[in-house]
């Protein structure tokens, strides 16, 4: 953040897209993996919001990338991941209130299964679970992020918006 603001001045937009997924059932999940997932999926988002907001003027935009698993844990071994993504929904609501006096909006995009290198191996299985019968495209998620970063979205804050082809409907 410091280097970006030195090079370009104040920040207008911050997108937090860091995250990891480690699967294991709750009865055998290691404390070390738990701490690692919380550090990357939750703490990093908090630190990012804090650092970005300190370098933003009025009307800045902050967007986190969460997951639709914040709403529905649909597979064994996903409890810790789901918990970290659910934590982002609370963080976004609170940060939106804290930063509202400066007209900085804070929102959370919750993608479902999206066609990426990580998830493409499971595409056939996932498609059976999604009412639209396909995985999301990266460009569709990016379009929602772009909209939330725009002036047109200036009245949306504290929201967690799910983009998952109807998976959690």
Q: Is the distance from CB of 61 to CB of 16 less than 8 angstroms?
A: no
Q: Provide the 8-state DSSP code for 135.
A: P
Q: How many CB atoms lie within 10 A of CB 70?
A: 22
**Catalytic site includes residue 81:** yes
Give me the catalytic one of 29, 81, 147, 167: 81
Two structure tokens written together for 139: 């460009």
Closest CA to 82 of 26, 124, 138, 158: 26
Residue ranges of the alpha helices (H) in the chain? 2-8, 31-38, 44-53, 79-99, 123-129, 138-148
Point out the residues that are catalytic: 81
């Amino acid at each position: 953040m410091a280097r970006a603001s030195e090079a370009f001045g104040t920040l207008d937009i911050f997108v937090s897209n860091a995250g990891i997924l480690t699967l294991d059932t709750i009865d055998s999940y290691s404390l070390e993996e738990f701490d690692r997932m919380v550090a990357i999926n939750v703490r990093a988002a908090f630190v990012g919001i804090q650092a970005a907001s300190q370098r933003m003027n009025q009307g800045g935009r902050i967007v986190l990338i969460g997951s639709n698993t914040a709403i529905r844990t649909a597979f064994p071994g996903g409890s810790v991941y789901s918990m970290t993504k659910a934590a982002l929904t609370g963080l976004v609501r609170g940060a939106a209130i804290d930063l509202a006096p400066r007209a900085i909006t804070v929102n959370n995009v919750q993608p479902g299964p999206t066609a990426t290198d990580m998830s493409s191996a499971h595409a056939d299985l996932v498609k059976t679970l999604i009412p639209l019968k396909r995985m999301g495209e990266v460009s569709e998620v990016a379009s929602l992020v772009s909209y939330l970063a725009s002036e047109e979205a200036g009245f949306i804050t504290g929201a967690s918006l799910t983009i998952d082809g109807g998976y959690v409907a």
